Amino acid sequence: MHPLVKRALTVALAAGLLSAPAAGALARTPDPSPSQAQSSQDKVTFTIGILSDVDSTNPFTGIVVEAYEAYALMYDYLVTSSPKDVSPQPSLAESYQEAPDKKSWTYKIRSGVTWSDGTPLTARDAAYTFNRIIDGDFEQTNYGNYVANIERAEATDDTTLVLHVKKPTPIMERLAVPILPEHVWKDIDGTKVKSYANEPEDGKPIVGSGPFRLVERRKGQFLRFEANKQYWGGAPAMDEVVMRVFLNADAMAQALLRGEIDFAYDLQSNVFESLKNKPGITTRSSKYPGFNEIAFNNGAALADGTPIGDGHPALKDKQVRLAISYAIDRETLVARVLNGNGAPGDTFIPSMYPALHLDPSVKQTYDPAKANQLLDAAGYAKGSDGIRAKDGKKLALRLFVRDGAESQATGEFVKSWLKDIGIDVTVKVMSEDALTEIIGQGDFDMFEWGWVVEPDPDYQMSTFTCGKRSYKDGDAIYADLSDSFYCNPEYDQLYDQQSGETDPAKRAELAKRMQQLVYDDAAYAITYYYDDMVAYRSDRWTGFVPQPDPDGSILFQYGVHSYLAIKPVSAASPGSGAAADTGSGMSGSLVAAVGGGAVVAVVAVLLVARRRRAAGADERE
């Protein structure tokens, strides 16, 4: 999935209308104890509040994070990522192996697994899924990158899947492709699949093999999943999982306080702060594989090297980019922009992936003196107005930020820091759509944005290769993945080398060298790694499994670890859950009375004031 998507959606929601006043109201609300609103028939239901609806339950169509979470509940995958350190781990394939000649990989599929309609799941289903993507057209859109190197999938018997590869590649341990039932999907051809909803009809669940099955869906409202108590990985402790859609974060926080939901995902920091220290609720800021950066126009060009765009020439000079990186106070950004929910950033594979992340020995930490020195040495002398210039061209740069509070705040900080070292910055706010367009054309100097890095770093690495710069089709220029237009033959060579390296240790070594190159060349000034902020009813649920251990995410992970591990509190330690429930009706009506009373009081006060004014107006008439 494209890393920008989640971020884009988050920001869109953050731009919502309610943040400030409603958050203030929230902070004053007393805490109502849980109500049993969710489930009608004594079922144990785990309800998750999400801020953007699953765009499609058809795994070939959806793109938002919430959709991928739904697929993970509904289907099995050959491999997953371990909760401990996000390393590859067998899943539906109980073991796998690369052939000695490196031309194929063999996956041993678990036996005895059945689809929810009773049909046995075999290696043939897996082979069908991969071949369908390889041969498909529309099917390629979401999973093309996983199969690009697979020639053919073959089931040699019911439990053996062989994937023949064109060349050795490490992606084979990271195949995040949901295995679909052949007997259902063979009837949905390449045309039909485009608009296939994959939603339950007449109360019949969607056929899947995962720990849950989708039984009901109302668009824009909720998705209801029923537990698969026969799941090979163990029966989930709950009977149902519900994902409930909220269109604003404050309402979601209220629902958590009232006990309508058990888990609130993807919170903004103001809502997150308002939920701290509420009884029965635990807030958690977890390590997340996302970073934000100030990206530089390293010299915009097409993939063939033809220059494009109107970037400031000074930014082609590595010393200038480095100077800017040294002028950014990352600690302040984390404290002031993220409210401390994150960490200063350096290299492009976040520290959430300890095996691959490079922790540079010499860090570009806040050092204005060093920044000034670098610019002096590069020949940029300060003019009478305090702005540096070289060959008569002023060091005046544009910085494009996105229309979200965090991006804009970062922009203003950077502007002031760069002013201190003699660089004049004009900050301009624009929508992400508009910015995407401008980046592709190379018409920028700097911009603020971010990425979410997947467990397999290949995609992220590719964004810095020469070949991923923009391309031309007819007269029009179109963006590819590169947004810095960084191009370094040495980097490209390392990229090619790692793409065929199936030894994890050797590949990690290459990944670190690549990060060092990009870091030393300051293609980006990575500002911070941000956290994933959630809150949940710890008075009701316990046993979440963080990924990675100990400070990673506890839900919306790579895999379904927490769903299989969490338990209702009352089951885990009898009594505590029941205690929390007593008196819920009482406190609920108390809150209503107090709240209603407050409203009446306010109205009354205003009325009296109005009455005076009304009397005055009557006299004038």
Partner 1 sequence: MALLTGTRGYVVRKVTWSLGTLLFVLVFNFFLFRLLPGDPIKMYTRGRNTPSEQLIKLRAELNRPIGTQFLEYLSNPFASTINSTRFNRPVWELVAERVWPTVLLVGTAILIASVAGIWLGIRSGWRRGGTFDRWTTGATNTLYAMPEFWVGMVLIIALPMFPSGNINTPGVSGFPDVFLDTAWHMVLPVTALAIVYLAEYTSIMRASLVDELRQDYLQLARAKGLREDLVRRRHAVPNALLPTMTLIFLNFGFVIGGAITIETVFSWPGLGLLSYEALRGPDIPLLQATFLLFSIGVVVFTLLADLLYAVLDPRVSSQ
Which residues 121-150 are close enough to bind partner 1 by CB under 8 A?
137, 140-145
Q: Which is nearer to partner 1, 378 or 481 (CB)?
A: 481
Q: Which is nearer to partner 1, 458 or 509 (CB)?
A: 458
Q: How far is the CB of 446 from partner 1 (least distance, A)?
A: 21
- The Cα 257–Cα 337 span in angstroms is 26
Pattern 461-480, partner 1, x by CB under 8 A: ------------x----xx-
How many residues make contact with partner 1 (CB under 8 A)? 85
Q: How far is the CB of 606 from partner 1 (least distance, A)?
A: 4
Which residue type is seen at 219? K
Encoded tokens for 560: 């379904």
Nearest partner of 436 among 4, 3, 1, judged by Cα: 4
Give yes or no for residue 262 binding partner 1 (CB under 8 A).
no
Quick one: the chain helix, strand, coil %, rounded to 5? 35, 25, 40
Give yes or no for residue 194 binding partner 1 (CB under 8 A).
yes
Which residue type is seen at 273? E
Q: How far is the CB of 485 from partner 1 (least distance, A)?
A: 18
Give yes or no for residue 245 binding partner 1 (CB under 8 A).
yes
**Which stretches does DSSP call E strand in 36-170?**
45-50, 79-81, 88-90, 93-98, 104-109, 150-157, 160-165
CA torsion sign for 145, 150, 152, 155 is negative
Q: How far is the CB of 439 from partner 1 (least distance, A)?
A: 11
Using CB under 8 A as the binding rule, the residues of this chain from 29 to 48 that contact partner 1 are 29, 32, 35, 37-41, 43, 45
Q: Which is nearer to partner 1, 46 or 288 (CB)?
A: 46
Q: Which is nearer to partner 1, 397 or 452 (CB)?
A: 452
- The Cα 185–Cα 605 span in angstroms is 65
Q: Which is nearer to partner 1, 87 or 145 (CB)?
A: 145
- The Cα 413–Cα 448 span in angstroms is 12
Give yes or no for residue 202 binding partner 1 (CB under 8 A).
no
Q: Which stretch binds partner 1 (CB under 8 A): 229-237, 294-302, 555-563, 601-609?
A: 601-609
Q: How far is the CB of 525 from partner 1 (least distance, A)?
A: 24
Residues in CB range of 88: below 8 A, 6 or more apart: 79, 80, 81, 82, 173, 174, 455
Give yes or no for residue 17 binding partner 1 (CB under 8 A).
yes
Q: Which is nearer to partner 1, 40 or 277 (CB)?
A: 40
C-alpha torsion angle, residues 9, 51, 452, 411 (rounded to 10):
60
Q: Which stretch binds partner 1 (CB under 8 A): 9-17, 163-171, 178-186, 325-333?
A: 9-17
Q: Is the peptide bond before 550 cis (omega within 30 degrees of 0)?
A: yes
- The Cα 282–Cα 271 span in angstroms is 13
Give yes or no for residue 279 binding partner 1 (CB under 8 A).
no
Residues in CB range of 579: below 8 A, 6 or more apart: none
Tokens 């009232």 correspond to 258
Q: How far is the CB of 216 from partner 1 (least distance, A)?
A: 6
For 79, 152, 428, 614, the CA distances from 499, given in Å and listed in that order, are 19, 19, 38, 78
Q: How far is the CB of 116 from partner 1 (least distance, A)?
A: 18
- The Cα 595–Cα 439 span in angstroms is 50
Please name every residue paired with 388 in a beta bridge, in sequence order, or none if there are none: 382
- The Cα 594–Cα 596 span in angstroms is 6
**Which stretches does DSSP call E strand in 297-414?**
342-344, 381-382, 388-390, 393-394, 396-402
Q: Which stretch binds partner 1 (CB under 8 A): 109-117, 189-197, 328-336, 377-385?
A: 189-197
Encoded tokens for 391: 């060959």
Pattern 218-237, partner 1, x by CB under 8 A: xxxxx-x-------------
**Which stretches does DSSP call E strand in 297-375?**
342-344
Please name every residue paired with 294 in a beta bridge, in sequence order, or none if there are none: 448, 525
Give yes or no for residue 616 binding partner 1 (CB under 8 A).
no
Q: How far is the CB of 134 from partner 1 (least distance, A)?
A: 12
Using CB under 8 A as the binding rule, the residues of this chain from 478 to 497 that contact partner 1 are 478-479
Q: Which is nearer to partner 1, 137 or 359 (CB)?
A: 137
Q: How far is the CB of 380 from partner 1 (least distance, A)?
A: 35
Among 258, 287, 388, 402, binds partner 1 (CB under 8 A): 258
Q: Which is nearer to partner 1, 20 or 99 (CB)?
A: 20
Q: How far is the CB of 565 from partner 1 (least distance, A)?
A: 23
Using CB under 8 A as the binding rule, the residues of this chain from 333 to 352 that contact partner 1 are none
- The Cα 239–Cα 233 span in angstroms is 16
Give yes or no for residue 164 binding partner 1 (CB under 8 A).
no
- The Cα 479–Cα 6 span in angstroms is 19
Using CB under 8 A as the binding rule, the residues of this chain from 568 to 587 that contact partner 1 are none
Q: Which is nearer to partner 1, 2 or 363 (CB)?
A: 2
Q: How far is the CB of 152 from partner 1 (least distance, A)?
A: 18
Q: Which stretch binds partner 1 (CB under 8 A): 262-270, 341-349, 393-401, 434-442?
A: 434-442
Q: Which stretch binds partner 1 (CB under 8 A): 80-88, 211-219, 387-395, 547-555?
A: 211-219
Give yes or no for residue 589 binding partner 1 (CB under 8 A).
yes
Report yes or no: 145 and 114 within 8 Å, Cβ to Cβ: no
Q: Which is nearer to partner 1, 7 or 330 (CB)?
A: 7
Among 201, 433, 616, 620, binds partner 1 (CB under 8 A): 433
Give yes or no for residue 240 binding partner 1 (CB under 8 A).
yes
- The Cα 112–Cα 395 span in angstroms is 67
Q: How far is the CB of 431 from partner 1 (least distance, A)?
A: 8
- The Cα 468–Cα 460 span in angstroms is 11
Using CB under 8 A as the binding rule, the residues of this chain from 43 to 72 that contact partner 1 are 43, 45, 53, 55-56, 61, 63
Give yes or no for residue 188 binding partner 1 (CB under 8 A).
no
Report yes or no: 15 and 460 within 8 Å, Cβ to Cβ: no
